[in-house]
Structure 1
Amino acid sequence: MGAPQIHQRFAPGARLPRHRHAAGYLAVVIDGAYTEAGDAGRFRLTAGQLVHHREFEAHGDQFGTAGARVLNLPCPPDAPPLPVGRLADLDGVVRLAERDPAAAATLALASLNPVCDERDWPDLLAADLRADPSLRLDAWAETAGLAPSTLARGFLRAYGVSPKRYRAEVRALKAWRCIASSPLTLAEFALELGFADQAHMTRALVKLTGRTPAAVRRVAGRVDSGPTIHSTPRPTPSR
């Protein structure tokens, strides 16, 4: 999906299923409240807060009893990776957005204060999967004292997607963000991130971005000159 329209209004109790946008943008909550769960974590959002949706990040939203009004602004190329923050001057940002949305985005980011995300066990699992996409779900469940079925149901309820799919998507997202700067060959990089092989990574990146890993590197001025590794693929973690 492309960037959303600049002004959005959501009805009380509305639900926005998990989705992603190819273009990054900033969402400013003007009034109301909702919970957002996505590739950056899960957050309880209220008026005056800003959410930074980076390229190809997925998220889903559950709106509260008052619904919400949201102002979507273009994301500056040098925007910090901070996912959520509170604005120092909400009214100033909203007024400026009527004349110059890009300037409003710059103003919003200039005075942003960090906001903590939710910290129930699904959020801890999501954070661990973002840090290590090769994490074994059965081992994590055992350490947390949870049955695998409980882990799957609880995570799906909180994030709108199974932990297996979340793991696969954050692995692809990590590949997209790091592939241009990694000194490894594509085959080595794929194994480093926990893909079964280079072809597995290629399928995941094409599904996420529409581009092959080689194309991503070409755009960044990189050429993968190392040999392609032909070996027995190691299985992708399935539990």
Structure 2
Amino acid sequence: MRSPNFADAPLGLLDHHPNELRARHCHDDAFVAVVLEGGYQEAGDEGRFDVRPGDALIHHPFESHLDRVEAKGARVLVLGLPAELAATSHVRGRVGDPDALVRIAARDPRAAAAAFAEQFVATPDAALDWPDLLARDLCGHAPVRLGEWAERTGVRAETLSRGFRAAYGCTPKAFRADARARAALAAIRVGGEPLSDIAHRLHFTDQAHMTHAVARLSGATPGAWRRMVPDVKSIQDMADLGV
């Protein structure tokens, strides 16, 4: 299996060209994007957002999205994701003083990330149109039958896949596959749930199917990821011994 090609998100200031379109891409690192000037639309695994100066988007590891930049371009400050926000489900928010973050980042990127955590205020997610409602359902644990979904929501079945791809840069099937692989990877990394149980809970055909999906997304198998997870019992034993 070929290793995934991950997109870089270098820390610091990033300029997007006017009308730039960055096709759907995946980042293996977590980071924060704070909009300083201009604006763009981002559509990806966490939803679709129109962002302006003062807006901020949190990106978790192995998330994919596309970016559509406005005619006037955009300037963005990229920061590392502070640990206290690593598990948040709120990925869009506002910061009160983005210019202060720029000044701090020029001296100390880690301090800027900490300052971001203090400034960040989550804002409600609002679906822009039916593709966003479908994306939300595709990220759920229950399987989605596209024909039934189209009938229930009044979307023409023959336009469903095309319309979703126009908004998100991939088909509903591909989007669902990525969402399920990310959910599996998250479960693998945070605990000791048996891999076969994770595969069953997330509706993979079998554990081999999950292994392929996780490796395709991340470049490593579930077994490799599980070996990277600290042994919780060993950590507790060390704490009991005062190590």
**Shorter-normalised TM range:** 0.7 to 0.9
Contact 1:28 1:72 in 2 (8 A): yes
Contact 1:60 1:160 in 2 (8 A): yes
Residue 24 of structure 1 is matched in structure 2 by 30
Residue 40 of structure 1 is matched in structure 2 by 46
Q: Please tell me whether residue 4 in structure 1 is matched to residue 9 in structure 2.
A: yes
Q: How many residues align?
A: 223
Q: Rate the CA distance shift 1:45–1:20 in 2: closer, same or farther, 3 A.
A: same
Segments of structure 2 that go 5 or more residues without pairing to the other structure are 1-5, 233-243
Counterpart CA distance in 2 for 1:138 and 1:222 is 44
Q: Please tell me whether residue 75 in structure 1 is matched to residue 81 in structure 2.
A: yes
Greater per-residue helix proportion: 2
Secondary structure of 2:139's match? Answer: helix
Segments of structure 1 that go 5 or more residues without pairing to the other structure are 224-239
Counterpart CA distance in 2 for 1:213 and 1:12 is 40
Residue 88 of structure 1 is matched in structure 2 by 96
Secondary structure of 2:203's match? Answer: coil
Q: Please tell me whether residue 101 in structure 1 is matched to residue 106 in structure 2.
A: no
Q: Which amino acid aligns with 2:15?
A: R
**Residues 173-188 of structure 1: pairs in structure 2 closer than 5 A:** 173-181=182-190, 184-188=193-197
Contact 2:84 2:117 in 1 (8 A): no
Counterpart CA distance in 1 for 2:156 and 2:206 is 30
Structure 1 residue 181 displacement after superposition: 4.1
Secondary structure of 2:160's match? Answer: helix
Secondary structure of 1:78's match? Answer: helix
Counterpart CA distance in 1 for 2:99 and 2:189 is 39
Secondary structure of 2:155's match? Answer: coil
- Deviations along 1:78-124, one digit per CA (max 9) or x if unpaired, are 32422111101111111111111111111112121222334111111
Secondary structure of 2:32's match? Answer: strand
Of 101-110 and 162-171, more deviation after overlay is shown by: 101-110
Contact 2:96 2:119 in 1 (8 A): yes
**Residues 59-208 of structure 1: pairs in structure 2 closer than 5 A:** 59-80=65-86, 81=88, 82-119=90-127, 120-132=129-141, 134-181=143-190, 184-208=193-217
Structure 1 residue 140 displacement after superposition: 1.1
Structure 1 residue 3 displacement after superposition: 3.9
Secondary structure of 2:29's match? Answer: coil
Structure 1 residue 147 displacement after superposition: 2.3
Contact 1:43 1:116 in 2 (8 A): no
Residue 238 of structure 2 is matched in structure 1 by none
Aligned-residue identity in percent: 42
Q: Which has the higher contact order (CA 8 A, sep 6+)?
A: 2
Structure 1 residue 182 displacement after superposition: 5.4
Secondary structure of 2:76's match? Answer: strand
Of 59-68 and 102-111, more deviation after overlay is shown by: 102-111
Contact 1:3 1:24 in 2 (8 A): no
Residue 235 of structure 2 is matched in structure 1 by none
